Amino acid sequence: MPRPLELTTVMPDCGEKIHATLVEDSDGYVIRTKNWRLHVNRDMSVRSALSAMNVAHILTEHRP
């Protein structure tokens, strides 16, 4: 099994730096952080994946 790919990105809405891992699974990819997990289809663009990461981050980390 391949090792997870380590990702670091800055969230555009809040400026926080996010550390995540990218792991391939049977249906696509899973992006994991310490607080959330996001499934991404194989045919999803990088731009769409980053947008989905931003939404997941805002919904889980910045709730009132």
HEC-encoded secondary structure of the chain: CCCCEEEEEECCCCCCEEEEEEEECCCEEEEECCCCEEEEECCCCHHHHHHHHHHHHHHHHCCC
18 within 8 A of 53, measured Cβ to Cβ: yes
**Domain range list for the chain:** 5-62
pTM of the predicted structure, to 2 decimals: 0.79
Q: What is the pLDDT of residues 35-51, one digit of tens each?
A: 899 999 989 988 898 88
Which residues are CB-contacts of 2 (< 8 A; sequence separation ≥ 6)? 24
- Which tokens go with 12? 């555009």
Which parts of the chain sit beneath pLDDT 50? Answer: none
